[in-house]
Amino acid sequence: MNGRPDPSHQVGCTELNAAELKRILRSHQAFVNRKPGGQRAMLQFHDLSNLDLSGYDLSEADLTGAVLRRSRLDDVQLRGANLFGADLRMTRLHRANLTRADLRGASLRGADMTDAVVYDADIREAQLAHYDEAGNPQTTEFEALPAELSSITARGADFSRAQMGQAMALKTDFSDARLCNANFRNADLRRSILVGAAMEGADLSSANLGECKLTGAVLTDADIRGAKFQNADIRGAILDDDAGDAPEFFDAVKPATSAELVQRIDRMLNDHAAWVSTSSREGERADLSDADLRGFRKPGVNLAAAVMERIVLKNAVLIAAELPMAQLAFADLRGAHLAQANLRGADLQRAVLRGADLREARLGPVRNVGRDQHTCPANLAHAKLAECTLAGADLNEACLFGADLSDSDLTGAQLTRADLRQANLTRAQVDKGSLRKAYRDR
């Protein structure tokens, strides 16, 4: 449909029986382990479609032009592998490691790359040389073959520093993916989902992000010069200061101006306080969604159960604030002062709290909620908490699934039954005793 050559049709692909493949994989394992007799797997233009190769170590294997269509490659190691022009359509690559792999011109259409690591991989356009009848390369004639990533699922995958210039990546799901310093120059990302994606320092120059969903995406230090964001939803995206006024975002879907809301904030707070104190019989619940209140100073303010999705509270001073059950999904709380704040049962999923002060904050559960008396834990799933101070915080039963806690201070924090699966704790300061009480990946 897109004019790409089919490897299995262009070149006669070699098929292997089970015994031959097993021998090659065994020999390659010895090669990877640098054992005598090991030999690198040379599987150029081989048909490996519909196979289950999960868990194998194929690092540095040569899979140029190989057909791996609909194969299962969960947990496979493909570090430094050559997958130039390979056919990986509809392949399952859960948690696969493709660090520094050569994926130039590869077709990954419809592949499932959930939680895969594609760090520093080369996924640029390939240049295919044409040969004459004698087999001599015609160096003056080349055919451009863009990498095909359309319709892939890459939730939570790590594409940091990956080279994806010119790539076709329509309708791709990059939710919560790490795309820091990735090169998307001139790439086509239309209608892709980039919700919660970490895109700091990414090169998006001249890329097409029309109709993309970018809620909660972090775009600080990204190069957006010449990029197209027509009808892209950037509400709740984390941008550099004043970047929202860039001409590239002229046709994007942006939050409505909150100037009027800021002018009546004190009245809204009073109405909300009455709503809380009278159990909603009087006053009105505060809805501060999309409001820009950076630098807001209200220590001890009562915003219990307030609706504040996508709110900007960068560098706000909310020490000892009452925020239980508050709806703060996708909130920008970078550098916020929230020491001793009551955030029990708050919804902070995909909120960005880099560098925030949460010392002795209460992030435990609220119990006996509603008619069914259920327990409501604090939800920080996929929240970005790098460089946060959480010393002495109550995080009992908190959901921190997929959260970024790198370089954070969790000294003395309570973590009993906290969900830390897939959380990033790189260089975090945390008591081992508390960590043992949390739910973690095995």
Percent of the chain with pLDDT over 70: 93
For 193-209, b/e burial (b = at least 16 CB within 10 A) is bbbbbbbbbbbbbbbbb
Distance CA 289, CA 82 (A): 47
In tens, the pLDDT along 240-268 reads 988 888 999 999 999 876 667 778 899 99
430, 435, 440, 442: CA torsion to nearest 10: 100
pLDDT-derived band at 354 (thresholds 50, 70, 90) equals: very high
Average pLDDT over the chain, rounded to whole?
A: 92
Distance CA 65, CA 71 (A): 15
Of 83, 88, 131, the residue nearest 103 (C-alpha)? 83
Q: Which residues lie across from 145 on neighbouring strands?
A: 126
Cβ contact 128:108 at 8 Å = no
pLDDT-derived band at 4 (thresholds 50, 70, 90) equals: low
**Per-residue pLDDT for 142 more than 50?**
no
Confidence (pLDDT) at 128: 55
Is 259 in a helix, a strand, or coil?
Answer: helix
For 307-342, b/e burial (b = at least 16 CB within 10 A) is bbbbbbbbbbbbbebbbbbbbbbbbbbbbbbbbbbb
In tens, the pLDDT along 22-62 reads 999 999 999 999 999 899 999 999 999 999 999 999 999 99
| Token pair for 292 | 């820009």
Cβ contact 272:302 at 8 Å = yes
**Per-residue pLDDT for 11 more than 70?**
no
Distance CA 183, CA 102 (A): 15
Confidence (pLDDT) at 130: 46
Q: What are phi and psi of 366, to 5 degrees?
A: -105, 130
Q: Count Cβ atoms within 10 A of the Cβ of residue 132 and give its class: 0-12 exposed, 13-18 middle, 19 or more buried.
A: exposed
| Amino acid letter for position 371 | R
Distance CA 115, CA 74 (A): 10
pTM: 0.89
190-194, 312-316, 367-371: least confident range = 367-371
Of 204, 205, 210, 218, the residue nearest 176 (C-alpha)? 218
**Per-residue pLDDT for 75 more than 60?**
yes
Confidence (pLDDT) at 135: 58
Distance CA 330, CA 279 (A): 27
**Per-residue pLDDT for 219 more than 70?**
yes
Cβ contact 408:384 at 8 Å = no
Distance CA 20, CA 22 (A): 5
Go through the domains of the chain in sequence order and give each one's CATH number.
Answer: 256-442 (2.160.20.80)
